[in-house]
């Protein structure tokens, strides 16, 4: 009887040891809020890991063992589900989830390497690179919405200008009305955005409701944001609310017209203050005719150059955008 009991206890201890070993060979990562982390760059941070550890001869090189190759971005993406590392076959393989054998078979990736891959996927798994200063340049489609290029200028010009400037801006570092600041990525993400969910994000719900409601932004009598801007903010949040710095869409090589370039520039930087019945200082910039008036009298260029008063207040348009306006004027200020 004692021999049977001893054998049973021994078997239990063996199974426990095996179970512990299996757990230790599997990698578990706690939830990460990837949207608040620095951008992981594919070319600098991720590609070297895949090339060094996965695209080795006889494994996932150009021949693609098991149907997967990890020697270029296009091939890598066949094992990636953007914005969802947990559903990505590559991530499952390197953490041992759903696979008989942990990958790479010669030994698990380091914790740092696994986390980098996890964050890169959850941030959208984009083919990005980094400059020497750390600035991220996205190789994503031109219609991608990027925070630094597309969202931040609108927020500053519409909501973040100090009340001591020209408009009812209430959400800058000085005023921070109701605790909201929209002048940086960190401040916007601190309490206004639920990455992936526009309908539960204060930033989007406050601009998409009824203009007559108490919490609508910008408040009456200031002009509401355009549908295009609202859609951009919605899509930015839905796609992870990333702190992207995309290559500027500004182009000075072709013919500059109001319809193709200037209207977008004005809408992003000026229209929130200079439209409607309560336009700042009575200056309207909500149509081709009104913009051309201030172009012809020199006030538009003087303002954006900062030679008279700095416009938009609080920041400057890019040098490329300034050049667009100058070329537009030099070539006759074409409408279409």
User: Would you say residue 245 has pLDDT above 50?
Assistant: yes
The token pair that represents 82 in the structure block: 């953007």
d(CA 280, CA 223): 11
Q: What is the pLDDT of residues 140-188, one digit of tens each?
A: 555 678 888 888 888 887 776 543 444 445 776 666 677 788 888 888 8
CB 103 within 8 A of CB 93: yes
User: Would you say residue 13 has pLDDT above 70?
Assistant: no
User: Would you say residue 294 has pLDDT above 90?
Assistant: yes
Confidence (pLDDT) at 101: 67
Q: Can you give the residue ranges of every domain in the chain?
A: 30-130, 147-161+171-238, 258-330
Confidence (pLDDT) at 276: 76
User: Would you say residue 261 has pLDDT above 70?
Assistant: yes
Q: What is the pLDDT of residues 227-236, one digit of tens each?
A: 888 898 998 8
Give the pLDDT mean for 10-39: 48
d(CA 108, CA 119): 18
Give the pLDDT mean for 24-28: 42
The token pair that represents 286 in the structure block: 């909500």
The token pair that represents 263 in the structure block: 């209207």
Instruction: List helix spans (H) across 96-151.
Output: 111-122
d(CA 172, CA 155): 10
Confidence (pLDDT) at 32: 57
CB 214 within 8 A of CB 221: no
Quote the percentage of the chain above a pLDDT of 70: 74
Q: What is the pLDDT of residues 35-49, one digit of tens each?
A: 667 788 888 889 888
User: Would you say residue 131 has pLDDT above 90?
Assistant: no
Give the pLDDT mean for 183-211: 87
User: Would you say residue 29 has pLDDT above 80?
Assistant: no
Confidence (pLDDT) at 137: 60
Confidence (pLDDT) at 133: 58
SS3 assignment, position 138: strand
Q: What is the pLDDT of residues 101-127, one digit of tens each?
A: 678 877 788 888 999 999 999 988 888
Give the pLDDT mean for 323-333: 93
């Amino acid at each position: 009887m004692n021999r049977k009991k001893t054998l049973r206890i021994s078997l239990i201890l063996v199974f426990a040891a095996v179970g512990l070993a299996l757990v230790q060979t599997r990698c578990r990562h706690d939830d990460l809020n990837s949207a608040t982390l620095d951008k992981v760059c594919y070319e600098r941070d991720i590609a070297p890991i895949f090339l060094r550890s996965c695209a080795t001869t006889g494994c996932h090189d150009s021949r693609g063992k098991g149907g997967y190759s990890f020697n270029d971005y296009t091939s890598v993406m066949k094992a990636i589900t953007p914005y969802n590392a947990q559903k990505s076959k590559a991530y499952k393989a390197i953490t041992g989830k759903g696979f008989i054998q942990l990958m790479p078979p010669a030994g698990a990736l380091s914790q740092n390497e696994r986390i980098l891959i996890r964050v890169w996927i959850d941030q959208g798994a984009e083919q990005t690179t980094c400059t020497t200063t750390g600035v991220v340049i996205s190789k994503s489609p031109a219609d991608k919405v990027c925070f630094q290029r597309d969202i931040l200028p609108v927020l500053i010009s519409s909501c973040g200008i100090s009340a001591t400037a020209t408009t009812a801006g209430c959400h800058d570092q000085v005023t921070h009305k109701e605790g909201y600041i929209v002048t940086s990525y960190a401040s916007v993400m601190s309490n206004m955005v639920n990455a992936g969910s526009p309908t539960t994000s204060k930033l989007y719900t406050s601009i998409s409701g009824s203009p007559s409601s108490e919490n609508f932004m910008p408040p009456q009598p200031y002009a509401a944001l355009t549908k295009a801007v609202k859609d951009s903010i919605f899509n930015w949040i839905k796609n992870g609310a990333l702190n992207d710095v995309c290559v500027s869409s500004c182009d000075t090589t072709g013919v500059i017209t109001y319809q193709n370039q200037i209207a977008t520039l004005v809408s992003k930087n000026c229209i929130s203050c200079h439209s409607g019945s309560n336009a700042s200082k009575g200056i309207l910039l909500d149509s081709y005719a009104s913009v051309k008036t201030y172009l012809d009298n020199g006030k538009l260029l003087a303002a954006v150059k900062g030679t008279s008063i700095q416009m938009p207040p609080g920041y400057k348009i890019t040098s490329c955008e300034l050049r667009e306006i100058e070329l537009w004027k030099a070539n006759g200020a074409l409408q279409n």
